[in-house]
Amino acid sequence: MFVLLVFIVFILLYIYLEGTKNFKYWETKGIKYCKPLPFFGNSCGKYFRQISPTDLLTNIYKTYKDEKCVGIFESNYPALVIRDPELIKLVLSTDFMHFYPKGMNMFEREPLMNNLFSADGDLWKLLRQKFTAAFTTGKMKAMYPILLKQVDRLERIICDASKKNVELDVRDLMARYTIDIITNCGFGVDSNSLNDESSVFRKLGKRIFNIKYRDSFVYMFKFIATNTFKNFNFFAPEIEDSTTEIFEYILEQRNNMPNRQDFMDILLQMRDKNTLSGDSLTKRNKDGEPEKCEIILNKTLLIAQAFILFAAGYETAAAAISFTLNQLAYNQEIQRKCQDEVDKVLKKHGELTYEAVIEMKYLEMVFKEGMRMYPPIGFLIRQCARKYTFSDINLTIDKGIAIFIPLQALQNDETYFEQPEKFIPERFHPDNAEKLNKFSYLPFGAGPRLCIGMRFGILESVAGLAKIFQKYSVMPSTNSRLDLVTDPTIALVQNIKGGIPLKFVRRRMI
């Protein structure tokens, strides 16, 4: 009995030590850090869906006001939260080659994670080069008429709600709007999510971003017991199965369709070529020149790219538009300025053309201010590729250390934005550009991993807002609230508890 007791104590002690073995990391570096819990580190609330990752990082940012960076622990793994724009510049841009990975696909085994957003190294570089061609000015102009059809659909739904004097959850409405844009412009498929909430694309979109307990526990155990759970996928089987089924069907349908020069055509060209080749990101010849590298393509890799265009393309824009509308509902004077600009530009162009949308600079400023106050993705993540020293603070970190950049906190810090709680679009007027610290405003990221779809996201958002303000005003409804509460069950793109209910009222045109 005594031997058994000793054995149990030994096992428990071993487990405890394994779960705390790295907890002295930041102390030995002389860096202030958040005190961790065994096994969970500083992520217990996140794992059990009590706080969103964005809110967790915001709290850390506010707690350590005098620090340029703060040490934390993702389970037993040390990570660094960076608060200072100059350090952020080093990570995202100046010393990019030390921080090019995101480190999100821990073992590169998960099919859907091998996409442009989460891939690292040569795979990321070659995919980035290939897909840049999908977002040129020429391609966006060509897609604009398709986009405009979805804008008209959106207006009809708002018209119907206005006549019935009922509120709309604009967070959900804008998700359906941007899904229709992505599926039509990117894949040549009409998902009809605006008119059919049971659309397979809408169902898939909801499941991707609705983090269930299964998803939270898999994420937690992959950090607590990495090797044991290395074959578990972050994305649930139903997400992989639905994504594969939908996009295999689209690929087959597009075989017999004319060349549309859209995202799906790029995937088809990649499939036919069977490989991606180019200069390596990390490997060099003896003469210092990049080695040539080649990636073998298969259907699984192509589906992963379709998946990320759909998921990231619709949800981030939907969040940004709805957050902006909520602010405009409570800032009627700014909204009237938007309407005045829309009236003036449409009088000049006659209709909502591509050129008209590009000319609506105040509306774009309004949209950027909305993203400042509530960025769709509230943080950025990078991973140290090799040992690196932040010379300004005399800190050396090791390969594999995760870097978190808390955008939500940074973009609402009075150090960088005067009266950050106020909605002031003029912050983004060209005359004020010099006052803006580039690395304190990062809703699309920065550096070589800047969001590839940034311009398209702004285009579809400003076009939607312009169409609304051409005929309607947005107002608070009975269930509206200015101060939004983040849903802790959402992992990446921010969502709101209870949605964002607002009311649309027909304008009195003079």
User: What pLDDT, in 10s, does the model give residues 190-219?
Assistant: 999 999 988 999 999 999 988 888 998 898
208-107-102-31 Cα dihedral, nearest 10 degrees: 120
User: What pLDDT, in 10s, does the model give residues 416-460?
Assistant: 999 999 999 999 999 987 888 889 999 999 999 999 999 999 999
**Residue (of 248, 254, 310, 301) closest to 274 by Cα position:** 301
pLDDT over 50 (residue 7) = no
User: 384: annotated binding-site residue?
Assistant: no
Residue 67 pLDDT class (50, 70, 90 cuts): very high
Find the mean pLDDT for residues 364-391: 97
Q: Pairing mode, if any, of strands 388-390 and 395-397?
A: antiparallel
What pLDDT was estimated at residue 223? 86
What domain count does the chain have? 1
What pLDDT was estimated at residue 10? 41
Find the mean pLDDT for residues 233-257: 87
What pLDDT was estimated at residue 227? 83
Find the mean pLDDT for residues 238-244: 94
Residue 9 pLDDT class (50, 70, 90 cuts): very low
What CA–CA distance (Å, rounded) separates 67 from 224? Answer: 28
Chain-centre distance of CA 22, in angstroms?
30
CATH number (domain holding residue 80) = 1.10.630.10
Write down the residue that tokens 């290939």 correspond to. 130
Find the mean pLDDT for residues 277-282: 92
Q: Quick one: tokens of 499?
A: 């949605």
Residue 314's Cβ-side half-sphere holds a number of Cα atoms within 13 Å equal to 32
How many Å from the N-terminal Cα to the C-terminal Cα in the chain?
Answer: 91
Range in 63-67, 101-105, 468-472, 499-503 with the lowest mean pLDDT: 101-105
Is 442 strand, coil or helix? Answer: coil
What pLDDT was estimated at residue 19? 56
Element (H, E) at 476: strand 472-476
What pLDDT was estimated at residue 510? 52
pLDDT over 60 (residue 12) = no
What proportion of the chain, given as a percentage, has pLDDT over 90?
Answer: 74
Domain span at residue 479 reads 1-506
What pLDDT was estimated at residue 273? 87
- Write the DSSP assignment of 119-183 as a string of letters: --HHHHHHHHHHHGGGGSHHHHHHHHHHHHHHHHHHHHHHHHHHHHT--EEHHHHHHHHHHHHHH
| Mean pLDDT, all residues of the chain | 91
